[in-house]
Amino acid sequence: MTTTVDTSLPERFRALEPWVADWDLATRVERYEKRLTKTIDELQDFYDAIAPLAEEAIAYLDTRDVNALSGEDTRLLRLLYSMIMVSYPVNIFKQPRIPDSGAAFFDTAVEPAL
């Protein structure tokens, strides 16, 4: 079995491969919905896995043309978006949903393609 290019990350960040299935998500809506399906422990596990590599990942992506990222690089960028999405729950709320937000929800009508 070969891992197809579709599921891989840039060489230096292969340690994050196990998180690709859940967190390589193209839109903010998908990331928010994913966040709500997880327990706070699961969100923490993801955060703790990616946070130590995040600074290096940002530096690496900054060597690339942001308008012409490869599939691998795009996947890495999306994992960083997902890290942002889980950062408030992990660092502040201690739960997946923002406290006292109840049924509040925003539909995303427009967001950038990348």
Query: Is residue 68 close enough to count as binding other proteins by CB under 8 A?
Result: no
> What is the distance between the alpha carbons of residues 70 and 89, in angstroms, rounded to a whole number?
30
The distance from CA 27 to its chain's CA centroid, rounded to whole angstroms, is 10
Interacting residue with other proteins among 1, 5, 37, 99 (CB under 8 A) = 99
CA distance 51 to 101: 26
Distances in Å between the Cα of 18 and the Cα atoms of 21, 79, 91, 101 are 7, 11, 22, 31
Q: Check residue 77 for interaction with other proteins (CB under 8 A).
A: yes
Stretch near other proteins under the rule CB under 8 A, chosen from 6-14, 17-25, 92-100: 92-100
106 touching other proteins, by CB under 8 A: yes
Binding site for other proteins (CB under 8 A): 28, 44, 47-48, 51-52, 54-55, 58, 61-62, 64, 66, 69, 77, 80-81, 84-85, 87-88, 90-93, 98-112, 114
